[in-house]
Amino acid sequence: MMELYNTTCFECSKLITHRYSTSFSLGIKAFAEPMRDPIYAIYGFVRYADEIVDTFHGYDKETLIADFKSQTFTAIQNQISLNPVIHCFQAVVNRYQIPIELIDAFFISMEMDLTEQVYDQAAYEKYIYGSAEVIGLMCLMVFCNGDKIKYSELKPAACKLGAAFQKINFLRDIKSDYEERGRTYFPNIDFLNFNNQDKMNIEQDIRADFEEGFKGIMLLPVSSRLGVYIAYQYYIALFEKIKKLDASVIANKRIRISDTHKFGLLLSSVIKTKLNILSRS
């Protein structure tokens, strides 16, 4: 019966991924089958932690995230949890020997969301590392499947790619982060006076991260390359769309990529990968 419980828990994380992110769901389906459940488990776990600090208004978020954190580390130690999301996450952590310090860094960033409103450069970099870069590194542990040399080789690029994705999320959500949560992630940026020069500076930083991140995609194992490339193509498309818009538009509207466009990116990514002609755009 334990096998049934494990299967059911992983199905829960798969459902969470599908409900919350069509783009990541498309990417995960492109992974080799043995990798899909572990990545669903990682996404489901970080998604629910993020929900606690972002949307559970009216509840004691500090207590909720502290309890979620405590349950997580207890589950990793005991190798079981009655919370299905935490249970499948701990199974992945133990199977792939994901370093505890990555999980610690993730929770530090989640806790920062409860207290920080305006980020200076140091806090900004710390937050991005814990909220995005370590997620890429957790996934990389799965992709490398015990190959420590490959992991060390790809670690810098994985961090840069995760940072690029997160910074685009910040730019896309700059209005809701400020108005709904009172947060301004970008250092030295005044949301009420957000202008095209501010936007251009942020875009240059993102472009540099993308350049380094793309190099890592080219070196990924075949079993994971297409899935990561699909996510990369989605974020590049979102980035290019944002670049064409005035800062005033970004500050007043959440920019999206249509499902039709996402499907087109999926097909294009599959073809480029099969022909081994991966491109930066």
Q: What's 131's DSSP letter?
A: I
Q: Tell me which residue of 18, 28, 22, 42 sits closest to 226, measured CA to CA.
A: 28
Give the separation between CA 70 and CA 111, rounded to whole angstroms: 13
Average pLDDT of the residues in 88-98: 98
Give the separation between CA 21 and CA 262, rounded to whole angstroms: 12
Q: Which domains does the chain have, with CATH numbers?
A: 2-274 (1.10.600.10)
Residue 275 confidence (pLDDT) above 70? no
Average pLDDT of the residues in 151-155: 97
> Which structure tokens are listed for 88?
């499948």
Within 10 A of 77 (CB to CB), how many other CB atoms are there? 11
Q: What's 129's DSSP letter?
A: I
Average pLDDT over all residues of the chain: 93
Average pLDDT of the residues in 194-206: 95
Question: What was the pLDDT predicted at 22?
Answer: 76
More confident of the two residues 23 and 79: 79
The pLDDT-based confidence of 260 (bands split at 50, 70, 90) is confident
Residue 152 confidence (pLDDT) above 90? yes
Question: What was the pLDDT predicted at 255?
Answer: 87
The pLDDT-based confidence of 281 (bands split at 50, 70, 90) is low
Question: What was the pLDDT predicted at 258?
Answer: 85
Give the separation between CA 108 and CA 267, rounded to whole angstroms: 38
Average pLDDT of the residues in 37-60: 96
Give the separation between CA 190 and CA 281, rounded to whole angstroms: 31
Look-up: residue for tokens 């992974």?
A: 31
Segment among 128-132, 135-139, 270-274 with least mean pLDDT: 270-274
Residue 161 confidence (pLDDT) above 80? yes
Q: Across 24-180, where does the E strand assignment appear? A: none
Q: What's the sign of the alpha-carbon dihedral 43, 46, 49, 50?
A: negative
Q: Are 117 and 182 in contact (CB under 8 A)?
A: yes
Residue 1 confidence (pLDDT) above 80? no
Question: What was the pLDDT predicted at 135?
Answer: 97
Q: Crossing angle, helix 2-20 and helix 84-96, to 10 degrees? A: 100
> Which structure tokens are listed for 59?
């509840």
> Which structure tokens are listed for 30?
């492109």
Residue 218 confidence (pLDDT) above 70? yes
